[in-house]
């Protein structure tokens, strides 16, 4: 396992800022005041859908109501550092804290009361076994807090039996991926506005597969939210 200088620092100074590694002052929690003011926020919730890069990404693939990402992902930046800690350094509480923070921002915007249920993208069982937690679930739990939405961490499940990809055509593989996710609790999402949550939005194909499963199970609408967009 890669040991980073930051991990070493955290041994001696457990209360370092997750963004810049500076030592936190009393009253500061997890992220220092300077980072809180200067992180690369997307503010996608304040722009109209036609100009929203997430809505553009899903255009023609899957209808989404709102496209949200808290932060912009930049390589070797603070956001990458935070995501690394969330995914590989056993810091799921940071994902939950970012979810709560974003949730309070959204709750002070036009998006207040727009989501009935928060559903995280399920992690592959193998990864779950190694990591011990699903970071998207922690972010989703935080997001549901101020939005006062129901949190349904097990609404979706990931099928593993259908994932053998070898010797399949492109079409079959695509069909396969789209069947990887299944709604296991249809009663919790039927006729509801869903906020589907992942850690990072890259190609969007996982969110698309999950969103389609939710819409097939008669969700009223699907919006997507992530900690960061690449």
Question: Which residues would be at the binding site for Zn ion (CB under 5 A)?
Answer: 17, 19-20, 22, 32, 35
Residue closer to Zn ion, measured from CB, 39 or 217: 39
Residue closer to Zn ion, measured from CB, 24 or 128: 24
Contacts of residue 31, Cβ cutoff 8 Å, sequence gap at least 6? 17, 18, 19, 39, 97
Residue closer to Zn ion, measured from CB, 1 or 37: 37
Q: Is the CB of residue 74 less than 8 Å from the CB of residue 230?
A: no
Q: Beta strand 221-229 with 67-72: parallel, antiparallel or unpaired?
A: parallel
Q: What is the smallest separation between the CB atom of 218 and Zn ion, expressed in angstroms? A: 44
Residue closer to Zn ion, measured from CB, 16 or 157: 16
Q: Is the CB of residue 142 less than 8 Å from the CB of residue 102?
A: yes
Residue closer to Zn ion, measured from CB, 8 or 174: 8
- DSSP H/E element including 193: strand 193-201
Q: What is the smallest separation between the CB atom of 33 and Zn ion, expressed in angstroms? A: 8
Residue 141 structure tokens: 């739990």
Partners of 185 in beta bridges:
none
Q: What is the smallest separation between the CB atom of 17 and Zn ion, expressed in angstroms? A: 3
Q: Is the CB of residue 196 less than 8 Å from the CB of residue 210?
A: yes
Q: Beta strand 156-158 with 181-183: parallel, antiparallel or unpaired?
A: antiparallel
Q: What is the smallest separation between the CB atom of 230 and Zn ion, expressed in angstroms? A: 22
Q: What is the smallest separation between the CB atom of 72 and Zn ion, expressed in angstroms? A: 17
């Amino acid at each position: 396992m890669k040991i980073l200088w930051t991990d070493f620092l955290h041994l001696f100074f457990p209360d370092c800022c997750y963004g810049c590694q500076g030592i936190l002052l009393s009253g500061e929690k997890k992220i220092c005041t300077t980072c809180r003011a200067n992180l690369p926020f997307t503010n996608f919730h304040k722009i109209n859908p036609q100009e929203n890069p997430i809505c553009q990404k899903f255009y023609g693939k899957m209808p989404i109501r709102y496209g949200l990402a808290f932060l912009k992902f930049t390589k070797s930046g603070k956001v990458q550092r935070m995501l690394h800690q969330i995914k590989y350094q056993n810091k799921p509480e940071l994902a939950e804290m970012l979810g709560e923070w974003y949730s309070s921002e959204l709750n002070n915007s036009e998006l207040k009361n727009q989501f009935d249920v928060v559903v995280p993208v399920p992690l592959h069982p193998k990864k779950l076994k190694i990591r011990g937690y699903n970071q998207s679930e922690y972010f989703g739990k935080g997001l549901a807090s101020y939005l006062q939405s129901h949190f349904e961490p097990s609404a979706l499940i990931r099928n593993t039996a259908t994932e053998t990809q070898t010797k399949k055509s492109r079409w079959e593989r695509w069909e396969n991926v789209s069947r990887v996710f299944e709604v296991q609790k249809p009663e919790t999402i039927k006729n509801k506005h869903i906020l589907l949550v992942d850690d990072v939005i890259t190609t969007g194909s996982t969110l698309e597969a999950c969103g389609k499963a939710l819409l097939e199970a008669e969700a009223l609408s699907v919006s997507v939210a992530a900690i960061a967009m690449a």
